[in-house]
Amino acid sequence: MKRGKSNNKNNNFKKTLVVTILSSLLFSLLAAYIQFNGQKSANSCSYLDPITIDLLAFIAGLFLVIEGFARIIEHKDASLKMQFSRMVRVAGGCAIMTLHLMQFVHK
């Protein structure tokens, strides 16, 4: 009986990691797509901010990713539904890092 519960918890953790990684990739690709399309129509107005803004935003995104994964690992046995906000946190952090990395490289 215990083996079945342990296996179910492990499956929840694996599902959570897979969905988190796939949603992070999707959010990052979507952010990059929007950024590339925005570059075509804008006169580089989003790049007028100082580099420190990009650095601080990148650090904030990195914090969201690390904190989200730490909570996912901390609650390995939680269901996919219970992990949803943590997965969104990681995916949002990845999107923030993608946008500000692109802006930093453009500068």
The 10s digit of each residue's pLDDT in 90-99 is 999 999 999 9
The 10s digit of each residue's pLDDT in 23-51 is 999 999 999 998 888 767 656 555 556 88
Q: Which residue has the tokens 């996919």?
A: 80
CA distance 91 to 54: 18
User: Which pLDDT score, from 0 to 100, does residue 47 have?
Assistant: 58
> Residue 71's domain spans which residues?
2-106
DSSP string, 66-107: HHHHHHHHHTTTS-TTTTHHHHHHHHHHHHHHHHHHHHHHH-
Question: pTM to 2 decimals?
Answer: 0.81
Structural domain total, the chain? 1
Amino acid identity, position 60: A
Task: Please say if the pLDDT value at position 82 is more than 80.
Answer: yes
Amino acid identity, position 65: V
How many CB atoms are located within 10 Å of the residue 88 CB? 16
Task: Please say if the pLDDT value at position 1 is more than 50.
Answer: no
Q: Give which of 62, 96, 82, 64 is closest to 15, Cα–Cα.
A: 82
